Structure 1
Amino acid sequence: MHDPSISNLARSPDLERNDGGDFLLNQTVQSFSWQDLTVTVRDRETKKSRDLINAISGDAQHGELVALMGPSGCGKTTLLNVLARRAASSGAKVIGETYVNDSQADAKSFQRMTSYVEQEDALIGSLTVQETLKFAADLSLPRSVSKLQRMERIRTLLEAFGIQKQANTLVGTPIRKGISGGQKRRVSVASQLITCPKILFLDEPTSGLDSTASYEVISYARELARANNLIIIASIHQPSTTTFKLFDKLLLLSSGRTCYFGRTEHVESYFDTIGYPVPLQTNPAEFLLDIVSSDFSGSKELASERVQAIQNAWTESTQAISVTKEISERVHSMEKAVNKSAMEDMTRPNGLSITLALLHRSFIKSYRDVVAYGIRIVMYLVLISILFSIVSYWLSNFQPTAEAFFTWVMWIFLDLVAAESLVVLVTAIFPNFVIALALVAFANGLWMSVGGFLVTPTILNPFWKYVFHYIDYQVC
């Protein structure tokens, strides 16, 4: 599964010439560590506080691939979100610190040096693989990166992830099959690497994939981390044996507490020393998940005691004490600032560039996605505009001419387009269904009141007439 193109990623002569250096190579962030991270929420029913994660410490060095593993509900995603400085949970209180190069990084610098790949692939199915990376570049890279440099980055990433043959293939729509699930996951990761992050967070990158595709994705991630000195932290549920061994470090969680943190190759010897040897011919990841889970065991009381014993064994172990001590010593020896020189030029493109890129992407999506757009246009024009007008126009005793009738149909159609545009605008500004619904209903009700249906425009006072009446799309 090793792809030599990834190992050669940082040494491409074309990239050196066109992009001013190894754009993916991390030369600034040497380590990322976290100390005593605790997330507390208040239970709405019992009014008591409970910990989603409790006193989690660990670190990752450049070039390492770290796994966050544990049974469902153990706090993997919560911890990943806290490490990435994203919202852990509604109303949650976060305690603890994260450090970059053993120093605290401000929010703006941290955002520039990190990227987060969601569990679900947020890809537009009507775009090709190459177009997906192109728009990711247009929406994130500063104007200082030339068009030639952007294309070189795209080409390099396509080759690095082994998807150059699918460059002109659609990601996939409901009516047209596209690339495979594993290839979609690689495209998601590649689109985040356009901005040259130093730390990459992956939320369940193997979710929904078979063992072969899972190995493929994690293998690419490992080679990428090693070839470019990146730090990659991924939450993962139940990897196969071969996939599990690809990770450099493992942070094993159960009920929000640490059961193990350290090198993956040492996990079996550690659990052997505390009385839980991994049986021969057994997937170690599967065995570990079994012994740190108490939800589906025959005797939940005995399982809970076992999990608590494993958690206590880690807390009292020399490894846990050593991790906390090393982080504390490194942090105290460093100044409370992070080297930001390499991040200064990673500003986002201006508003005009982003708007033009979004319009271009929307135009491509519109003419390719027949189901979403073509059928709706026919529906608006024929089911709603023309059929409605055939009945209502003549009953209203309007002018009985073809010109007048089709003018009426045109205004009805444009009115529908304006109404949908209003909904799109409001939902983009307020991405909450209830709030957006209330605001659209309020706007329509207000325009009905001042549009001339209920009160004639001639008796409207200047405020209602000039502020609302003349922008009413319902007035034909």
Structure 2
Amino acid sequence: DVKILDNNTTTRRQQTEMTIESLRVRQLSASAGDVKILDNVSFMARMGEFHGVLGPSGAGKSTLFHYIGGRRVQVSARGRVEVDGVRVDRRHLMSKIAYLEQNECLLGSATVRETLTFVAKLQLKESEEVIKERVENTIEELGISHRADALVGDENIRGLSGGEKRRVSIGEQLVKDPDIFLLDEPTSGLDSHVAYSIVTLLRKIASKQGKIILATLHQPSSRITAQFDRISLMAGGRMVYSGELKETLSFFAAKGHPCKPMFNPSDHFLDIISDKKTADTFADAYALIEGKHNIGTGSSAKGQTAASITGSSPAAHRATAIVSWCEQFRALALRRVRQWWRDPVMLVSELAQYIILGLFLGSLFRPLSQNATDGPFERYSAIFFILACLCFTPMFTVITYFEVERPLLRKETATRMYTMSAYYIAMSVVVLLVETVLILLFSITTYYLIGFRSGAENFFLHYLVLWLFMLICETFGLIFSALCPSTTVAIIAATGPVIILMSLSGFLTTSTPVYYEWTTWINFFHYTLVSLIDIEMRGQEFTRQDGSTVMGEDLVRDNLKNGLSLATNIAILIAYLMFFRIIGYLLVLPYRNAASQDDADDVDKASEETNSRATNSRATSSSAGDVAGGSVVALTGPNRGATSLAVMEEGKTAY
């Protein structure tokens, strides 16, 4: 049971704006190269109605929603969007639209209340009291008050069921109090009962709160179909029919396609439009009807400017976040800390790795010899092995977790929830704090168990260099995560360069070949190794076989020295860290505008249909004005755009 509340919270819409009563798309076309994804699509959606958009895979449904929702996709497009009969720019429409994409993306380590509060704080310019009230009302509207403090959950954290997660996803959009909802396959992956409850919830939200709700569905059940107020049918990137559900059945029945008793109407409609010739016939007729509606609007498809709806216009995606940068940073940093603390894999595995590795290395190299023959090599080996462990562990960790965060980052930045700079700096600050604690535990364990040089100054210098090295390696992994499409590819791609840097650091060979000497000056592994050896060896006495003593700095091999002071080597490591962080930011930045995979699917499907549809379109358009020659006739009605279609063949009605 779902209770829809009358929300008394003072919202931005109640304060400054009127409720949107209708949304109309006119003559929207989109293409990728020579492949048409959307072809002259037009339809209308109204306030208080649940509007279903049906069609086979690749029909262009997701691409259509991406354009209405203001998302960036890698195709060129031209068309017109009207709100209450007035043409609007997509940039200005984004604040009124909530878009729930097909792929569910929630943070498993957050509770339901925390998830909705995070969205509300970054999307509503309201006081804490108003936001809290809005969140609580939304939770009650969703019917999940009993799960408000439960973790969302993921593969590592036990949490909500699939249906409950879908309600939370809807709640993320509902808490923003939008006028228009776009939902791409909201019932995907759910069983019939849960899917029906989700659709029932959406219809109640539409009718009780006066929202415009559009949802794409692939194969809705008959119970779900009955919840539609209006329905639009798409095939091959074209709008085949759009109208009220009760009129749709009558319309197709009158045109020779009655729905059989006990048969799912949606399956019936999809069966009809699965035939390309039949779908194109209805689409051609529907295009003529919409063409008549466009007469007198003062704009034709050719006359429209691409700036209002074009997918390639960068200006359409420069909108800034809603709240201040500091508020974004605070919310993101708090979420990041909570994520690290609650995720058992992140918390336990990282702590265990550093503590266990520290104990192992301490027991492996203890005690260090003061003999001038063996002592230096033992120290080189211990330091090199420490760096090898610290290199791969943070690098692989960030690669793994960036893959998890990638879809969440795309979703949240696409809705202007926060800027990429706020995300990146918040992530960097939290990583810095966490790595500070982890490397401190590791350094204390290894330094004193192995028996490195005593003295607080030596320990803290050792700790500082390891801390810088660890952050550099973590950033190195982030760079490859951003460059590569998957975790596996990123790990493989990052491992090679790291092994090369380790090999050329100066430890594995007594001298560096002449043709590799230049790599010394660009190898952060070398600067780290040289710094740690300098801290350990300088000022320490070793005993020769004859009983004489020698200073440690005099025993260091030439290829483990670079002629620079310790301060200079540390400064170079700091410069490396800053440089890599900047590169990482520049590589992560494009994720805010990444195109959806759904649009790629639409392109693939559209390319398969282009040739056959083009042939049919030419045949139809050549006779569009001739009633007696098998042409398409459009009969329009004045009531809310109600229409009829007829195709005449030799004086008889074929459709």
Which of 259, 270, 294 is 1:289 aligned to?
A: 270
| 3-state SS in 2 of match to 1:160 | helix
Alpha-carbon separation, structure 2, partners of 1:370 and 1:259: 50
- In structure 2, distance between residues paired with 1:280 and 1:55: 34
Q: Which residue of 1 aligns with 2:620?
A: none
Q: Which has the higher helix share?
A: 2
Mapped contact 1:24–1:196 kept (Cα < 8 A):
no
1:365–1:198: structure 2 CA closer, same or farther, 3 Å change rule? same
2:525 corresponds to 1:448: yes
Deviations 1:29-59 (A, max 9, x none): 22211111112123xxxxxx12122111011
Query: 1 CA distance for matches of 2:495 and 2:157?
Result: 36
Whole-angstrom CA distance in 2 between matches of 1:161 and 1:390 = 56
Displacement after TM superposition at 1:202 (Å): 0.8
Q: Distance in 1 between matches of 2:570 and 2:354?
A: 30
Provide TM-score, normalisation by structure 1: 0.78
1:35 is matched with which residue?
26
Q: Distance in 1 between matches of 2:211 and 2:271?
A: 31
Gaps of 5+ in 1: 43-48, 294-305, 339-345
Name the aligned partner's letter for residue 99 of structure 2. Y
Tell me the residue number matched to 1:418. 471
Give the alignment's Cα RMSD to 1 decimal.
Answer: 3.9
Write out aligned runs for 1:115-264 (5 A): 115-142=98-125, 145-264=126-245
Cα displacement (A) at 1:438 = 7.1
Match of 1:363 among 325, 328, 337: 337
Indicate how the Cα distance of structure 1 residues 347 and 30 shifts in structure 2: closer, same or farther if over 3 A, else same. farther
Following the alignment from structure 2 to structure 1, what is the Cα–Cα distance between the partners of residues 21 and 248? 24
Aligned equivalent of 1:274: 255
Please say which of residues 276-285 and 426-435 is displaced more in the overlay: 426-435
TM-score, normalization by structure 2: 0.58
Q: Which moved more, 1:224-233 or 1:409-418?
A: 409-418
Q: For the structure 1 residues 429 and 152, does the alpha-carbon distance in structure 2 shift closer, same or farther, using more than 3 Å as the test?
A: farther
Runs (5+) with no aligned partner, structure 2: 300-304, 309-319, 369-374, 383-446, 502-521, 531-558, 578-655
- What's the offset of the Cα at 1:65? 1.9
- Cα deviation digits, residues 151-179 of structure 1 (max 9, x gap): 10011101111111111111123344322
Deviation, structure 1 residue 106: 3.2
Q: 1-side partners of 2:107 and 2:473: how far apart?
A: 20
CA distance in 2, matches of 1:212, 1:242: 10
2:364 is aligned to 391
The yes-or-no answer on 1:95 pairing with 2:78 is yes
Who is 2:327 aligned against? 353
How far apart, in 2, do the equivalents of 1:63 and 1:239 lie?
21
Higher CA-based Rg: 2
Paired with 2:166 and 2:14, the residues of 1 have a C-alpha distance of 22
After superposing the two structures, state which structure 1 stretch, 432-441 or 322-331, moved more: 432-441
Within-5 A mapping of 1:437-476: 446-448=523-525, 450-451=527-528, 453=530, 456=561, 458-459=563-564, 468-471=572-575
Residue of structure 1 equivalent to 2:44: 59
Cα distance in 2, alignment partners of residues 316 and 402 from structure 1: 82
C-alpha distance in 2 between matches for 1:82 and 1:330: 21
Is residue 11–residue 177 contact of structure 2 (8 Å, CA) maintained in 1?
Answer: no
Listed as ranges, the matches of 1:288-307 within 5 Å are: 288-293=269-274, 306-307=275-276
Task: Give the Cα separation in 1 of the matches to 2:574 and 2:230.
Answer: 63
Partner secondary structure for residue 235 of structure 1: strand
Partners of 1:156 and 1:366 lie apart in 2 by 29
The 1:417–1:207 alpha-carbon spacing in structure 2 relative to 1, beyond 3 Å, is farther
Q: Is the Cα contact below 8 Å between 2:363 and 2:449 reproduced in 1?
A: no
Code of the aligned partner of 2:146: K
Corresponding residue SS for 1:9:
coil
**Kept after mapping to 2: 8 A contact 1:380/1:416:** no
CA deviations 1:126-162 (Å, max 9, x no partner) are 21111111111223222xx111101100111011111
Cα pair distance change 1:457/1:233, threshold 3 Å: farther
Q: Secondary structure at the match of 2:106?
A: coil
Q: Deviations over 1:77-131 (max 9, x none)?
A: 122112222234x3x2212222223333334322211121121221111211111
Identity in percent: 26
Q: How many aligned residue pairs are there? A: 429
